[in-house]
Amino acid sequence: MKTRIIGLAVMLFTIVSSAQQDAQYTQYMYNTIVVNPAYAGSRQAMSIFALHRNQWVGVDGAPVTNSFSINTPLNESKVGLGLSVVNDKIGISTENNIAADFSYTIPASERYKISFGIKASANLLSVDFSKLTYQPGDPNAYQDNIDNKFSPNIGVGFYLHSDNSYIGISAPNLIETEHFDKSATSSATSHVATEKINYYLIAGYVFDLSPSLKLKPSLETKYVQGAPLQVDVSANFMMNEKFVAGLAYRWSAAMSAMVGFQASDSWFIGYSYDFDTTEFAKYNSGSHEIFLRYELFNKYDKIISPRFF
């Protein structure tokens, strides 16, 4: 069984490395700044966000992701600024991505605003090949490790939003980068994976079902060349401006349950649990994700009720 689990870990490592690239989140609706730079400053408050995701618990080498971000409007201007750091561990590889975001917002109508965003990022990749077990005579047994290989990138995003709805499109990494060189030297010509452009479409709408109950369906769609289209849909209820509960479905992959609590105007905590809907469910105990958001409002802000996205 252990050999089988290790084999599955190697398989998922290869799949994720060659196709998915960008870290995966269940509670994507609260972590928008990572995929769309135009989101920066849209909440009209300094928003500090931290997330931990432990995917496919029980499988050696399964992804573990830590994300931290901060974004804020710049005084009373139309400019928003953001900074995010994502640490993603998969198998023998560790990636650290540091990104800076700039957005500019203009009115689109009486209700809607449209924001345009630019993301500049730096990716640091490390791969420790010594952690692999090789068969005798394997020509790949003496590969050089990759130590913080640097690759820059740039991305763009658009975000149309009102007080109760939003839609956005983005591509956070427009430069296709070849990763996992067979050798870490500059003369290497073979690669295990090429990082393709990830295109995102996000959308959501908040329905007021009663004075104390809101419903928010939301959508995230990700397209990557050479990989299946990924579609995440969710429905969350907010009760009494405090408690959040909902379900999510990742097309042909997983179901999720989510809960959250608005502890105060500034503090919000959320948790989700995923369970696979594929045969892979036999070999893992699901995925856990928890986040904490803190928002700092200035004296000009008037918070009537918490923003539900």
Q: What is the CATH number of the domain that holds 248?
A: 2.40.160.40
pLDDT in tens, 234-253: 999 999 999 999 999 999 99
The verdict on residue 33 lying in a domain is yes
The residue among 71 and 298 whose pLDDT is bigger is 71
The CA-to-CA distance between both ends of the chain, in Å, stands at 43
Q: Quote the pTM value.
A: 0.86
* Integer Cα distance of 72 and 23 in angstroms: 23
The verdict on residue 29 lying in a domain is yes
The total number of residues shown for the chain amounts to 309
Q: With bands split at pLDDT 50, 70 and 90, how would you rate the model's confidence at 193?
A: low
* CA quadruple 107, 72, 248, 282: dihedral, nearest 10: 150
The verdict on residue 307 lying in a domain is no
In this predicted structure, the answer to whether residue 209 has a pLDDT above a threshold of 80 is yes
The residue among 134 and 224 whose pLDDT is bigger is 224
Looking at the chain, the whole-number percentage of residues with pLDDT higher than 90 is: 68
Q: Which domain holds residue 52?
A: 23-132+141-178+195-296
* Integer Cα distance of 168 and 290 in angstroms: 24
> Residue 267, CB half-sphere, CA atoms under 13 Å: how many?
3
In this predicted structure, the answer to whether residue 21 has a pLDDT above a threshold of 80 is no
The residue among 61 and 183 whose pLDDT is bigger is 61
Count structural domains, the chain: 1
pLDDT in tens, 166-184: 999 999 999 987 765 554 4
pLDDT in tens, 32-49: 999 999 999 999 899 999
Instruction: Identify the pLDDT of residue 8.
Output: 44
Task: Give kind and range of the element (H or E) at residue 237.
Answer: strand 230-239
pLDDT in tens, 92-106: 899 999 999 999 999
Q: With bands split at pLDDT 50, 70 and 90, how would you rate the model's confidence at 191?
A: low
The verdict on residue 186 lying in a domain is no
As a whole number, the mean pLDDT across the chain is: 86
Instruction: Identify the pLDDT of residue 277.
Output: 95
Angle at 61 between CA 56 and CA 67, to 5 degrees: 70
CB 164 within 8 A of CB 179: no
The verdict on residue 261 lying in a domain is yes
Range 137-157 average pLDDT: 81
In this predicted structure, the answer to whether residue 226 has a pLDDT above a threshold of 60 is yes
The verdict on residue 205 lying in a domain is yes
pLDDT in tens, 63-78: 999 999 999 999 889 9
Range 211-230 average pLDDT: 93
Range 203-225 average pLDDT: 95
Q: Tell me the pairing of strands 243-250 and 254-262.
A: antiparallel
Range 284-304 average pLDDT: 81
Task: Give kind and range of the element (H or E) at residue 114.
Answer: strand 113-127
The verdict on residue 16 lying in a domain is no
CB 239 within 8 A of CB 211: no
Q: Tell me the pairing of strands 46-54 and 287-296.
A: antiparallel
The verdict on residue 106 lying in a domain is yes
* Integer Cα distance of 219 and 77 in angstroms: 30
In this predicted structure, the answer to whether residue 19 has a pLDDT above a threshold of 70 is no
Q: With bands split at pLDDT 50, 70 and 90, how would you rate the model's confidence at 142?
A: low
